[in-house]
Amino acid sequence: MTASTGPRDVPSPAPAQTGEDRTLLAHLRLEALQCRAAARLDLTDACLHLSATREVSGTEAVRALVRTLDQALGRAPRFFRPGSIDRSFDEAWLMALVHAVQRGDEASATFLLRSRVAPSALRSTIFLLSRVATSDARAAAPEAPATRRAG
């Protein structure tokens, strides 16, 4: 008998994606790589900064979300390397959440958020997600080439 791995550790094949989805996922992954070396960013401070800025680029919104997602989830999210054709559980959850926000599907967004985000972080996380979902991040991020499956 083998030990079972959690859903976060098992790569899932990426569903059919639009070019914008691939671009946003690549952007999230690149920011996650860069955030490893960045100074810690408080969730509330990130929201205050973005709310005080009239024009927020997609890159700034994605960076703030990725740098604070660990506070919302209570642990570090798992991002695969840019170009991987698989998605981690965290990546699939985040993309589903962005899609729900973009569609205005409040029921799905609420379910996804409440299933994983700490109640104290809900409001700030929703703010950051709405910035990402409505920003130019889906079209402005560099596209990474496809690589082998993660594992």
Backbone angles phi, psi at 15, to 5 degrees: -70, 170
Verdict on whether the full-model pTM lies above 0.85: no
Cα distances (angstroms) measured from residue 72 to each of 18, 88, 97, 144: 27, 17, 14, 27
Q: Give the C-alpha separation, 37 to 7, whole Å.
A: 26
Domain range annotation of the chain = 17-140
**Can you tell me which residue has the tokens 């860069």?**
34
Query: Sign of the C-alpha dihedral, residues 60, 21, 14, 150?
Result: negative
d(CA 107, CA 68): 24
| pLDDT digit string, tens, across residues 66-105 | 999 999 999 999 999 998 999 999 999 999 999 999 999 9
